[in-house]
């Protein structure tokens, strides 16, 4: 049996950063929480890394678009010069779909 660590996010794109062979999307998933007698949105921001064909697709994604992204979770760590161990979790997209385009979509879409 294969061991897996997966994620699934349905949320809106806040920031898009495209580099040479990698792209990063900041995606907000909203949760509701009760504050006093009222319910408020509580957005949780996730930074998702895209490689390969998904990097090419990132150029067609606009800020505010509603996406469904699934992928794998990768944890890494390094040791600072002062000896402190720093841990980092990467969310690597394997599949993504645009569920709804924002009116702020990029020109040419």
- What's the CATH number of domain 6-100, 3.40.1230.10, 1.20.210.10, 3.40.50.300, 2.40.50.140? 2.40.50.140
Give tens-digit pLDDT for 19-70.
989 999 999 999 899 999 999 999 999 999 999 999 999 989 999 999 999 9
| pTM to 2 decimal places | 0.81
Instruction: Measure the CA–CA gap between 105 and 40, rounded to whole angstroms.
Output: 27
Calculate the alpha carbon distances from 46 to 4, 11, 58, 92, 107 in Å. 19, 9, 16, 11, 25
Token pair of 61, please? 């994604």
Calculate the alpha carbon distances from 53 to 35, 56, 95, 103 in Å. 42, 5, 10, 25
């Amino acid at each position: 049996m294969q061991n897996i660590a997966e994620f699934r996010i349905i949320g809106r794109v806040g920031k898009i950063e495209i580099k040479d062979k990698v792209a990063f999307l900041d995606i907000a998933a909203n949760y509701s929480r009760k504050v006093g007698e009222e319910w408020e949105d509580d957005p949780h921001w996730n930074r998702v890394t895209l490689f390969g064909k998904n990097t090419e697709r990132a150029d067609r994604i606009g800020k505010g678009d509603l996406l469904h992204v699934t992928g794998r979770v990768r944890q890494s760590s390094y040791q600072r010069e002062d000896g402190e161990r720093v841990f980092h979790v990467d969310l690597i997209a394997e599949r993504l779909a645009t569920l709804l385009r924002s009116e702020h979509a990029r020109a040419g879409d």
